[in-house]
Amino acid sequence: MGYTRLELKNDAKQALTGKWGISVGVTLIYTLIAAIASQVPIIGPIALFLCSPALAMGFTLFFLKISRKEDAGIETLFQWFPKLFKAFGLNFMIQLFVFLWSLLFIIPVLYVRLPTSGASTTAPGTSTATPASTTAGVTSGTATTPAATASSGSTAPVGRKHQDNKSKDSSS
């Protein structure tokens, strides 16, 4: 059932016997078309995007025919151009299929690696609260705010007791 590397290499060498020249020529033409199209501004990348599936299918078909010991020529490289949209659709479906199957590997990794929204980043048993003595603006457990200072003109602490006293003063 399985082939060894040596068997595959020998089969490939035997299939290419007498066809090295045309194989190198087709490879050069394929590479030159892609390189030249990518250098043309604006139109080149669009043409390459639209034509590369047909060109790639022809390139693959050329070497498939050689491996099957069939006649293959330079025209095989351009054989898929009459079926340009079919080649483009086939290439799109292949890429979509590969992308969707790759999600099977990506989603579990994201699920394991991303922290949940309510999770704490501190070690269990440790506290992130700061002591009251080191917190700036804290006087006897109540904080002073700039708004309270500006409105009353004093730096009186704003807290429940202070607010309760104000409400008592305004009610009497």
Which phi and psi angles does 54 have, rounded to 5°? -65, -40
Spatial distance between the Cα atoms of 143 and 155, rounded to a whole number of angstroms: 10
Closest CA to 74 of 16, 17, 27: 27
Angstrom distance (rounded) from CA 152 to CA 83: 82
Residues 95-126 have pLDDT tens digits of 999 999 999 988 888 888 877 665 555 556 66
Contacts of residue 141, defined as CB under 8 A and 6 or more positions apart, other chains included, come to 132, 159
Question: Which pairs with CB-CB distance under 8 Å and at least 24 residues apart come from 87-92?
Answer: 87/53, 87/54, 87/56, 87/57, 88/50, 88/53, 88/54, 90/53, 90/57, 91/53, 91/56, 91/57
Of 46, 56, 44, residue with least CA distance to 87: 56
pLDDT value, residue 51: 87
Q: How far apart are the first and last CA of the chain?
A: 100
| Amino acid residing at 140 | S
Pick the range with the lowest mean pLDDT from 11-20, 77-86, 131-140, 162-171.
Answer: 131-140
Task: Look over the chain and give the mean of its residue pLDDT values, rounded to a whole number.
Answer: 78
E-state strands within 85-146: 138-139, 142-143
- Write down the pTM of the prediction: 0.55
